[in-house]
Structure 1
Amino acid sequence: MSITQLLGIKYPIFQGGMAQIAVSPLVGAVSNAGGLGIIGSGGFTADRLRDEIRKVKASTDKPFAVNLMLMMNNIPELIEVIIEEGVKIVTTGAGTPAPYMTTLKEHGIIVIPVVPSVKIAKKMEALGVDAIVAEGTEAGGHVGETTTMALLPQVASAVSIPVIGAGGIADGRGIAAAFALGAQGVQVGTRFLATVECPTHENFKQAVINADDTSTTVTGRSLGGPVRSIKNSMIAEFLRLENEKASREELEKLSLGSLRRAVFEGDTDTGSVMAGQICGMVNKITTVEEMITTMFEEAQETLGKLGHLQLGPLSVVGA
C-alpha cells in the first residue's frame, strides 16, 4: 500500500512538525491542499494540544497528524488527548515510541517515527511502526549526522515499510530525487516557512528568504542535541561558548526562549531561526496550495525529462 493510500492524502508530502510553528493555520492549509498537515506539539500542555486539534478539525475535513517530541514529560497526557480527539496519525521524534506503541495501536493510530540512521530505522520497523521518515542533517531544527543523499537509500534498502525522505527538499527536483532514492513521499519544513499561512513573524520569513546555501550552522553538538539554524549574533555566541567548553547551564541560559523570540517577536538576531540548508532556494512567499501543486508539477516534469536521459551506452527505462 502506498503512503497516500495508507494516510488518505492526495500528495505524498508531509509538513514538518515544527515546534511553535506547526499549528492550526498552517496545518489546516496543508491538509486542505492535499498534503499531511502535522501539529507540532513540542512544549504543549494537554489543553493546548486539544485546542489546536479542534482548531484544525474546524478548518479541514482531511487527514492530519500530531508530532510528539518524546523527550517531553507529558507524553502520556498528550496521547490521551490524541485518542480522545480521534486523531489517527502520529509522527514521533526525540526518543522511541516503544512505551506507547501498544496504546497507540490499540486505538488504530498510524505511527511514523522520524529517524536519523539505518540502525534506528530497523529498530522502529521491528517495533511495528507503519512508516519511517528518514531525515538527513541538511534539515532545519534537530538533526542527525548523515546527509539525506546517503541516508535515504540505505534506509529504503534496510526496511520493508514505506520511507519518507526529509532534509534538503524544497522543489520538485528534490521530490524526484527522493523517489529515485527509494522514498514513497517527502517531508518538508523549511519551504513551508515562507508561506502565507505559516504563523511566524514576517521577520522570520524574510530571514529564510534572505538566506543562502551557507547561511545555516549547527549548534548543540556538545550537548548531544544538534540543532540547525540561520547564523546570527546569538548563534555566534553559542558557538563561541560551546568551543570554550561552557557548561550546559550557561548554554541553555543563552538559548532559553530563543525560538519563541524569533517566531513571535521577529527577533532574528538573538532568536533562533531554525531552518535547513535548502533555505537558499526559498526566495518568495506563496500560499501553501501554490507551493504544493507547483512542487509536484515540477517533480512530474523532472521525472519526465529523466525518462529520456541517456546514461552512457545505456538508457533509462522509458527512453
Structure 2
Amino acid sequence: MKTRVTELLGIEYPIIQGGMAWVAEHNLAAAVSNAGGFGLIGAANAPTEVVRDQIRKAKELTDKPFGVNIMLLSPHAEEIAKIVVEEGVAAVTTGAGNPEKYMEMWKAAGIKVIPVVASVALARRMERYGADAVVAEGCESGGHIGEQTTMTLVPQVVDAVNIPVIAAGGIGDGRGFAAIRMLGAEAAQIGTRFVVAKEAVVHDAYKQRVIAAKDIDSEVTGRSTGHPVRQLRNKMTREYLKMEKEGASFEELEYLTLGSLRKAVVEGDIVDGTVMAGQIAGLIKQEQTCSQIIQEIIKEAEQLLKIN
C-alpha cells in the first residue's frame, strides 16, 4: 500500500488521523504514528505553549513522524506557525484559512505542507504556492465543512493538480478507503473513527454517543452564519437550529456554543455540548486501538482492491 503520500511522510500506511480540536492530542497522534499511520495534533485555539508541550509529549511517546493541524483563524496561529518550525514537526495541515504567508518558512525548514481544501480553486492555488499535497475534504466530515461531497470533490481535485490528493469525509472502513483510492486519492484522512480509539483521551460518554449513532443522527448547524458545522443531534443542536430559523444574530449563536466542544469531549456533556462527528458515525460500532483500526481498514481495502 505504497503511494506518494507514504513516501512523502515516511509512513507505512496511507492513513492520516484528522486534527480534531480537543480530540487530537499527543496520546492519539503518537498512537496513530506508532501504528504506521500519520498522527496529528490539533492546535485549534490552544495557546502556543500548550501546543509546544503537546509536540514534546508526542515525541516522548513515538519516534515516528507526526504533524500539527493549524487552524488559521486561531488568535495564536502566527506563533504556532513558528513553533512547528522550532520543534521540527514532520508536516503541517491547515484549515479555516489560507496558509500562504507561512508556507515559505515551513518549506525552508523541511516541513511538508498539506492544506485542507474544499474546492478545486483552492487546491490549485495551494499547489502554485508550493503545497506538498492537499486534503480534499467533503461535507460528510464532522466539524467545519464545505458544500461538496467527497465523491464529487476528490476526483475533480485529482484531475486539477499534480501533487498527491488525500481524501477526507465519510471514510470509516476498508470499503471507504478502497473507494477513495479508485477516485484517485493516495491516502485517507480519517477523523470520526479515531474519536473512539482506545488511545483517544475523550470522555466515554462522547465515544458511546458516536458508537450509538444512527445513519441520520448528524446534522449541520451554522449555515446562516457561513460557518457550517456537522455534529450529532442533541438538545443544543435543536436549540441552535431553532434560533437560526428565528433569525438569531451571529453573537447570540456564538454564545450558545461557547466552550461547548470542550464540554462534550472533556466533561462528557452530550446533551448541551457539541458532539462533532461525521456522517460515517452510524458505521462505527466499537472502541478499538489505533493499530486495530488501521490494520482492519488496510486489510479490507487490500482485499477489495486485490492488492497482494
TM (norm. structure 1) is: 0.94
Code of the residue aligned with 1:75 in structure 2: it is: A
Residue 283 of structure 1 aligns with which residue? 285
Measure how far apart 1:194 and its partner are: 1.2
Which of these residues, 239, 249, 252, is aligned with residue 250 of structure 1? 252
The CA distance in 2 between the partners of 1:146 and 1:40, in whole Å, is 23
The CA distance in 2 between the partners of 1:84 and 1:185, in whole Å, is 27
Code of the residue aligned with 1:297 in structure 2: it is: K
How many residues in Structure 1 have an aligned counterpart in Structure 2?
305
| 2:178 is the counterpart of 1:201 | no
**1:180-195 correspondence to structure 2 within 5 Å:** 180-195=182-197
Residue 94 of structure 1 aligns with which residue? 96
Give secondary structure in 2 for the equivalent of 1:169: coil
Residue 110 of structure 2 aligns with which residue? 108
Q: Note the residue ranges of structure 1 that are not aligned, 5 or more in a row.
A: 308-319
The CA distance in 1 between the partners of 2:110 and 2:78, in whole Å, is 17
The CA distance in 1 between the partners of 2:168 and 2:79, in whole Å, is 28
Code of the residue aligned with 2:244 in structure 1: it is: E
**1:29-68 correspondence to structure 2 within 5 Å:** 29-68=31-70
Which of these residues, 9, 12, 15, is aligned with residue 10 of structure 1? 12
| 2:197 is the counterpart of 1:175 | no
Measure how far apart 1:94 and its partner are: 0.3
Q: Note the residue ranges of structure 2 that are not aligned, 5 or more in a row.
A: none
| 2:288 is the counterpart of 1:302 | no
- Tell me which moved more, 1-10 or 186-195: 1-10
Residues 88-128 of structure 1, C-alpha deviation per residue, up to 9 Å, x if partnerless?
Answer: 21000000001111211121111000011111111111111
Look at both structures and tell me which one has the larger radius of gyration over its CA atoms: 1
TM (norm. structure 2) is: 0.98
Residue 295 of structure 2 aligns with which residue? 293
The CA distance in 2 between the partners of 1:30 and 1:83, in whole Å, is 22
| 2:242 is the counterpart of 1:259 | no
The CA distance in 1 between the partners of 2:164 and 2:121, in whole Å, is 16
Residue 158 of structure 2 aligns with which residue? 156
- Tell me which moved more, 44-53 or 79-88: 79-88
The CA distance in 2 between the partners of 1:56 and 1:223, in whole Å, is 36
CA contact under 8 A between 2:45 and 2:76: conserved in structure 1? no
| 2:82 is the counterpart of 1:117 | no
Residue 25 of structure 2 aligns with which residue? 23
Moved over 3 A (4+): none
Residue 242 of structure 2 aligns with which residue? 240
The CA distance in 1 between the partners of 2:270 and 2:279, in whole Å, is 17
The CA distance in 2 between the partners of 1:43 and 1:168, in whole Å, is 25
